A = this chain, B = another copy of it.
Amino acid sequence: MDVAGIGNAIVDVIAHADESFLVAEGFAKGAMTLIDAARADALYGRMGSSIESSGGSAGNTMAGIASLGGTGAYIGKVRDDGLGRIFRHDITAIGVQFVTPPASEGPGTARCLILVTPDGQRTMGTYLGACVELGPEDIEPATVAAAKITYLEGYLFDPPRAKEAFRKAAAIAHAAGRLVALSLSDPFCVGRHRDEFRELVAGEIDILFANEAEISSLYETEDFDQAAAAVQRHVKIAALTRSAAGSVILADGTVHRIAAAPVARVVDTTGAGDLYASGVLFGLTRGLALPTCGAIGSLCAAEIISHVGARPEAALDQLVASAGLV
């Protein structure tokens, strides 16, 4: 198997909104804010007409890997409710094994209320719901040991017991001689768990994904080059994204600069980082050169930001083949 992804299993509820709505709701633009069930209900009542789409950072990444032709499994917790059935349908329909049993009691399947501003930026309010039930008992050793790369989203540090699941999965992967990858997810998430993230990155992570704000938050520096220098001391491969400026992949003392792929119009940036990770991880499992891995990541990110929603609409394997990257 190529990749096992572990994350918060979430259904996205996506609406367009003005900047003033974000201000009125007290959201930091571009970030993910955790909200409780009551605030989720109230916000849903005030936000505009929406569409629903399966999401979750690692879930999006795994859907991207499957669309690229990779094989994968997903570990995450839904409830046995309507949204949980939607999440399960969507991730299995694209060819990802979803091995975690649903919760039969407790809070409902998680929802992420996503507000897309006219500039295409997304701002998120997440009600974690059933995700708080994920624990180490949900990590199936055989699944993790079978995957070339185990991919973990930083958001897993928000629900209480998921980080135990996270550490268990990392230990199993390394014991099986596999690689462990982490996405830092969100600068505020890094801020909430900075010490643990630094310890993890220094000790257990082989491949790190982060954007500029996240890597800056991790090392508490405004200087991107300084942050990039710091991370190189700790991980084999660091893939750092810079929005329209593309990305850099740092490995073995070499800096690979990757251009962003062109997009006619940025409609909704939700999932850009998740799908960039799909491309890089897929390339790594195929043994491709790092600049090619990065180019595939850029292409996948470009597809996802050209439409509403964080799951691919186009067949990514065909896009990548058309671009001559595989």
Interface residues of A in 89-121 (CB under 8 A from B): 89-91, 93-94
Interface: A16 (CB within 8 A): yes
Determine the chain B residues whose CB is within 8 A of the CB of A309 once the complex forms. Answer: 51, 308
Besides A15-B93, A45-B89, A49-B54, 9 other A-B contacts (C-beta < 8 A): A16-B313, A48-B94, A49-B93, A49-B311, A50-B86, A50-B93, A51-B52, A51-B311, A82-B82
Main secondary structure of the interface of A (DSSP, over half): mixed
Could you tell me if B81 and A63 are in contact, using CB atoms closer than 8 angstroms?
Answer: no
Nearest-neighbor residue (CB-CB) of A66 within chain B = B49
Q: How large is the interface on A (under 10, 10 to 19, 20 to 34, 35 or more residues)?
A: 20 to 34
Instruction: Report how many copies the assembly holds.
Output: 2
Q: Choose one: B54, B83, B89, B311; the contact of A44 (CB below 8 Å).
A: B89
Bound: A108/B155 CA distance, A: 34
Interface: A61 (CB within 8 A): no
Interface: A8 (CB within 8 A): no
Interface: A319 (CB within 8 A): no
Determine the chain B residues whose CB is within 8 A of the CB of A49 once the complex forms. Answer: 54, 63, 89-91, 93-94, 311
Interface: A47 (CB within 8 A): yes
Interface residues of A in 29-75 (CB under 8 A from B): 44-45, 47-54, 63
* Listed A/B pairs (21) with beta-carbon separation below 8 Å: A15-B93, A44-B89, A45-B89, A48-B93, A48-B94, A49-B89, A49-B91, A49-B94, A49-B311, A50-B90, A50-B93, A51-B52, A51-B53, A51-B311, A52-B52, A81-B82, A82-B82, A82-B83, A307-B307, A308-B308, A308-B313
